[in-house]
């Protein structure tokens, strides 16, 4: 049978159907990385930042340390300064989504502060991360976050709730 161009009405219907089908796909694509990150963490027997991985007391110590060590560049609001990136908000959340807390710890420990990198102790960085997690809405629990025994490697930063 010879191919015939669809009529104008038919093309309009096809276009509308196409748009209707693509919309849920967009919604699914937007949440897929987070769903995948939760699923990957579960499969690997890991915890995520939603599993109450720091204590409120530790976040309090981290807040004091953050104000002394980081706020001069990243601001008290964690919103970042001239060149220092944001440590809160959707860009920060999505850039760390799926990475481990060991990655975040290593990034801060070895590259911050940018004018004299490497001067923070592993404990200071761990406490500051607890504060950053609390600030970004992750729930505290009863046990401190620890950098000992590679524990941070098995905790995954996941940007949205399970
Ligand atoms: C002297 C200023 C300065 C201080 C102090 C400082 N930072 Fe930074 N930080 C920067 C700059 C500039 C960047 C962007 C350049 C880069 O990525 O290396 C940055 C980037 C970062 C990033 C990467 C952001 C991202 O999502 O890509 C993190 C995380 C970070 N800093 C955390 C910290 C923490 C936590 C502290 C305190 C323990 C700290 N910084 C102290 C200047 C600073």
Structural domains in the chain plus CATH codes: 47-156 (1.10.760.10)
- Lookup result for tokens 């897929």: 32
Helices 122-135, 56-69: axis angle to 10 degrees equals: 110
Indicate if the pLDDT at residue 125 is higher than 70.
yes
Q: Is the CB of 147 under 6 A from ligand 1?
A: no
Which of 2, 139, 160, 39 is closest to 96 using CA atoms? 160
Ligand 1: distance of its center to the CA of 22 in Å?
A: 39
- What's residue 144's pLDDT? 98
Q: Is the CB of 67 under 6 A from ligand 1?
A: no
Indicate if the pLDDT at residue 65 is higher than 70.
yes
pLDDT bucket at 43, cuts 50 / 70 / 90: confident
pTM: 0.85
Half-sphere exposure of 153 (CA within 13 A, CB side): 4
């Amino acid at each position: 049978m010879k191919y015939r161009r669809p009529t104008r009405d038919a093309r309009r219907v096809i276009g509308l159907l196409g748009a209707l089908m693509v919309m849920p796909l967009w919604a699914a694509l937007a949440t897929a990385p987070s769903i995948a990150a939760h699923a990957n963490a579960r499969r690997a027997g890991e915890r995520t930042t939603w599993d109450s991985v720091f204590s409120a007391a530790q976040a309090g110590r981290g807040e004091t340390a953050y104000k002394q060590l980081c706020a001069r560049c990243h601001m008290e609001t964690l919103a970042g300064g001239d060149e220092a990136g944001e440590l809160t908000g959707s860009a920060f959340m999505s850039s760390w989504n799926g990475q481990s807390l060991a990655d975040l710890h290593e990034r801060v420990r070895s590259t911050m502060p940018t004018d004299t990198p490497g001067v923070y102790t592993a404990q200071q960085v761990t406490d500051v991360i607890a504060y950053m997690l609390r600030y970004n809405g992750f729930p505290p629990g009863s046990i401190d976050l620890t950098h000992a025994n590679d524990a941070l490697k098995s905790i995954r930063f996941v940007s949205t709730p399970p």
